[in-house]
Amino acid sequence: MTIGSLIEAPSEFTDSSSGKSAIVLMTRIRLARNLAGHPFPGWAKPSEREKVLESCRSVLISTPLLKRGLSVGVDELGELERRILVERHLISRELSGSKQGSGVVISKDQTVSVMINEEDHLRIQMMRGGFQLKKVWGAINELDSLLEDSFDFAFSPSLGYLTACPTNLGTAMRASAMMHLPALVIASQMEKVVRAVNQLGMVVRGLFGEGSDASGSIFQISNQTTLGESEEEILKRLSGVLQSIIEHELNARARLLESDSGKLFDKIGRAFGILQNGHVLSSNEAMNLLSLIRLGVDLGIFPEARRCVTDRLFIEAQPGHLQYAQKAEVDAGQRDLLRADRLRSEFANFPRPDFSLSANGKN
Amino acid sequence: MANPIKCDICSKPATVHLTQILDNKVHKIDLCEECAQEKGVTDPSGFSLADLLLKASLNPEATAGGMRCEQCGFTPVDFKKLGRFGCPACYIAFKGILDPMLDGMHKGVVHAGKVPQRAIERRSLHERLSKLEGDLSEAIKAERYEDAARCRDEINQVRQAVEQKPQRQER
Ligand SMILES: [Zn+2]
Ligand SMILES: [Zn+2]
């Protein structure tokens, strides 16, 4: 598979059919693994990096899950191609800016990606739409065990999997959920949530922006610690935290509808108007408008079948995707025009909001 | 502002102040604009507070001594600079620096998760095999033919075990 055909193909993110849910957009688990007896990538000589890259690429591309996917060195990718992979969460920003001797292998359906010579020799990652921690863990655990047949992973009985940074020791697992929390943002409760979640040893990050006012109200919640607990225990704890955030978001929505439905409907109605008619839209503004439309879907104001449109546009309105579609690098001002064009045409045939339905909105 | 708070990394005046509570311990970090930029505090995907706390927690004395990882040549000074180790063997070489650092960083200090069982078994079989092959050639040299025959039998057994190994045995 080539990078071009990968970009054109539907991804887990942009695909409409996979189990989308109202609040958890995506579940993701990442495992860090290193090869015993080899220096970590940040300390390895260029020739050592190349050797590790070559041997990892050839093993990975022959495993069943990755067989028909893309295997590519970072230096073979153009600037825009790298950006697209970052925007789709298939590679990290760190890898996209890395020097020679690093690469990535991505499955055809773009649910699995393995970064080679990022901070660790291997960063194995698996994503699924919706809230699916158990399923993703089952699948990535199996892939990891399969890779044991080909690699001797650096491991210590007392410290677990040995990673370049001690913050990843032990399970070397980072599990996360991407959550859409518009009501908590509107009600200015995100800061409180971030604090509470931190206290429980979990980390909250804005996905497209920063801190408690992330654009699009999309947040990534993940475990911070990796040593001293089993994978199952970490996932159980994370799952409990996610469940309670979902409850808080649902409560915040109920309260908004009860106390201030006029204001909430006004926001959603205006978002619809701007998306249908705007001519200049920054990335940040577009994310926030799309977030309101998505909330409208949750409340029954727009049909459920349109949820996939907002989820796809969250990614496709990003700068890399916009420029790739245009087949050129375009400056930020020009991009805002392009983005508005794109959104106007996507929303031209979008059903009008129906505010009478909201009382029996789902969830 | 007589006595401004200093950046934990470079000691310039700090303008970015972060707090995190982990296992009921409050961790604070203060950074100047530049270090905050460089550490990706403004980059939501690349920033890890735990990471910064880790570097700030390394005291200068611990990094002084002439320690060095024999496998990869890494020194504690390199760690202070990079915040990462050089190779897996560094975890043995720098145990003295690591242990206090791990205290409070995670839920515990002993691994409780997955073990790469198949790889470990394979490695121990391979080690057993190379030892037996050494024994065998010694026995032949010393003309201890009974010992040699026994070694050969064992080698065959171990070889078989190595070849059977890839059977799936999840948990
Ligand atoms: Zn500084
Ligand atoms: Zn070392």
Write out pLDDT tens, residues B57-103: 555 555 555 689 999 999 988 998 888 999 999 999 999 889 888 88
Min Cα distance A234 → chain B (Å) is 10
Cα B73 to ligand 2 centre (Å): 6
Same domain for A77 and A214, yes or no, is: yes
Which residue among A252, A284, A312 closes a domain? A252
Burial A316-342 (b: 16+ CB within 10 A, else e): bbbbbbbbbeeeeeeeeeebbebbbeb
Of A328, A335, A358, A329, nearest to A266 (Cα)?
A: A358
Q: By the 8 A CB rule, do A106 and A123 touch?
A: no
Give the count of domains, chain A: 2
Same domain for B47 and B3, yes or no, is: yes
Burial B81-92 (b: 16+ CB within 10 A, else e): ebbbbbbbbbbe
Q: First-to-last CA distance in chain B?
A: 60
pLDDT confidence of residue B54: 63
Same domain for A20 and A77, yes or no, is: yes
Q: Which domain, by its residues, includes A305?
A: 260-360
Cα distance between residue B120 and residue A198, in whole Å: 36
Query: Between these two residues, A8 and A258, which has the higher pLDDT value?
Result: A258
Q: What is the CATH number of the domain that holds A26?
A: 3.30.590.10
Same domain for B55 and B83, yes or no, is: no
Cα distance between residue A132 and residue B165, in whole Å: 32
Min Cα distance A267 → chain B (Å) is 27
> Quick check: is B171 in a domain?
no
Q: Token pair of B12, please?
A: 């310039």
Q: Token pair of A342, please?
A: 């794109």
Which residue among A222, A252, A282 closes a domain? A252
Mean pLDDT, residues A251-255 taken together: 95
Q: Does the distance separating the beta carbons of A233 and B54 come in below 8 Å?
A: no
In the predicted model, is pLDDT for residue A136 greater than 70?
Answer: yes
Give the range with max mean pLDDT: A85-89, A355-359, B119-123: A85-89
pLDDT confidence of residue B49: 59
Q: Which pLDDT band holds residue A16 (cuts at 50, 70, 90)?
A: very low
Cα A166 to ligand 2 centre (Å): 13
Which residue among A252, A285, A307 closes a domain? A252
Mean pLDDT, residues A21-40 taken together: 94
> Quick check: is B13 in a domain?
yes
Pairs across A and B, CB distance < 8 A: 155
Q: How many CB atoms lie within 10 A of CB B21?
A: 14
Nearest CA in chain A to B100: A166
Q: Which pLDDT band holds residue A220 (cuts at 50, 70, 90)?
A: very high
Instruction: Respond yes or no on whether ipTM tops 0.95.
Output: no
Best of A121, A143, A165, A217 to substitute, by most chain B Cβ atoms within 10 angstroms, is A165
- 10-residue block means of pLDDT along chain B (171 residues)? 71 75 63 73 50 59 69 91 94 90 88 88 80 88 89 85 55 37
Cα B52 to ligand 1 centre (Å): 12
> Quick check: is B169 in a domain?
no
Please report the beta strands in A85-129, taking only residues with DSSP state E, as ranges in sequence order. 103-106, 112-116, 122-129
Cα A71 to ligand 2 centre (Å): 29
Using CA atoms, how far residue A256 sits from A219, A250, A252, A299, B125, in Å, is 20, 10, 6, 12, 64
Min Cα distance A321 → chain B (Å) is 18
Mean pLDDT, residues A184-201 taken together: 90
Q: Which pLDDT band holds residue A134 (cuts at 50, 70, 90)?
A: very high
Q: Which domain, by its residues, includes B89?
A: 62-111
